[in-house]
Amino acid sequence: MKPHLIVFGILIAGFIFYNLFFKISDDRTNTIINILYASILFAYISFMAFSLIRKMKK
């Protein structure tokens, strides 16, 4: 489980760094990128939960 948390931390740090330093000037494009990045984060959270439930069943 620890590698999953490390990858998740890296993804969160990337999201924060993008919003602080690499923001695109076009608001519409920036919103689309933020939504896609947040979707990837939530998908990874669900993957971690699914893998934890699978480990608990064994």
DSSP per-residue codes, 1-44: -HHHHHHHHHHHHHHHHHHHHS--S-HHHHHHHHHHHHHHHHHH
In the prediction, which pLDDT does 37 show? 92
Q: Single out the residue of 31, 38, 47 nearest to residue 12, CA to CA.
A: 38
1-32 pLDDT, tens digit per residue, is: 688 888 888 989 988 998 888 888 888 998 99
pLDDT at 58 over 80: no
The predicted model scores a pTM of: 0.74
CA distance 55 to 52: 5
Question: Which residue is associated with the tokens 């969160």?
Answer: 12
The pLDDT of residue 1? 66
- For residue 32, give both structure tokens: 């689309």
